[in-house]
Amino acid sequence: MTTIPSPTDVGALANRINFHTRDQHNKIDGQMSVKFAFAMKHGFIYRQGILAYYYIFNAIEQEIDRIFEHAETPEELQTRDILKQFWVDDFRRSDKIFQDLELLYAKEYPCSASLKMFLAENVLPPEQQTFVNYIHEGIQAKPTAVLAYCHVLYLALFAGGRVMRSTVYRSTGLFPKFPDLTPQEVVRRGTNFFTFSPDGVLAENQLRKNYKKGYELATRQGLTEEQKLHILEVSNAVFEWNTRIVSEIGEINRQELMGKLSFKLISFAIDEWKHTEKLTRKQKSLMLAMGVVIQLLAMYWMLRKLF
């Protein structure tokens, strides 16, 4: 086979991953659509999400680099040979996310050195740290497991990154303001995570086509059935971990803000209610009305403190 496999080609590893993770994919796709829309209204949450994925992609790429540079065991050598057939530096995301973080954290860490120190010393929330550990330990134990991440996470960005990028373009309030840059320039500098080529959509499409073709040709004959089954297992776990990471970010913000009576809390709470899938339209209307009451009470409380 010399072309990208058709969706009905059951022998293709990518198709098997898609089939076996279909339920997980639908679950997180719905969750991410809601959470991403929510994050677009709250820059501090968006920044936390980008930070979380820096550590996730950095862990994957540290393992890829280790395999390329220091492969020793038979499975490491096997994995290196497979990666060589489709992996190129254009796929790397950790360096791109770092560029976004330089802009998002410009006020706190105005130079690259201070940002790098923050990233090195930052204590990750429990679920994030456990996922990072899972990535390192799993790939070191069974190197071909990295191929699950190469399909699930990187192709997800190829598929959805362009949509996310266009959404972020319309949400200029997410980013800090810089007197020497227009809002459009700021957004462009802050969306490297979702950009795979500076040469435009056609170049990105060709890159994606080459990636999928190289991945399929390398994995169809280069893996045992046992290895493929393990990659399917890891692929399912990656979807589950993504769900847990996104939920953890929401819970952390909820707990931190609940102790503060502020307009930031009120805005967060009302918007979260509006984006909660489990609530009926009637329940959402009731919650929105309650939010208005809370706003009025908060204004009254603050005015009493002032006068």
Looking at residues 165-184, what average pLDDT do you find? 78
Looking at residues 10-30, what average pLDDT do you find? 76
Evaluate if residue 31 carries a pLDDT over 70.
no
Evaluate if residue 29 carries a pLDDT over 80.
no
Cα angle 21, 27, 31 (rounded to 5 degrees) comes to 140
CB 12 within 8 A of CB 220: yes
Q: Report the range of poorest mean pLDDT among 33-47, 254-268, 291-305.
A: 291-305
Measured N-to-C along each axis, helices 43-70 and 126-141 cross at an angle, to the nearest 10 degrees, of: 20
- Provide the Cα torsion 120, 126, 129, 134; round to 10°: 170
CB 195 within 8 A of CB 96: yes
Evaluate if residue 267 carries a pLDDT over 70.
no
Q: Report the range of poorest mean pLDDT among 60-64, 184-188, 287-291.
A: 287-291
pLDDT above 70 coverage of the chain, percent: 72
Going by pLDDT thresholds of 50, 70 and 90, the confidence category of residue 179 is: confident
Q: pLDDT at position 297, please?
A: 47
Q: Which residue numbers belong to the known binding site? A: 25
Looking at residues 163-183, what average pLDDT do you find? 77
Q: What is the CA radius of gyration of the chain?
A: 22
Evaluate if residue 282 carries a pLDDT over 90.
no
Q: Which residue numbers belong to the known binding site for heme b? A: 25
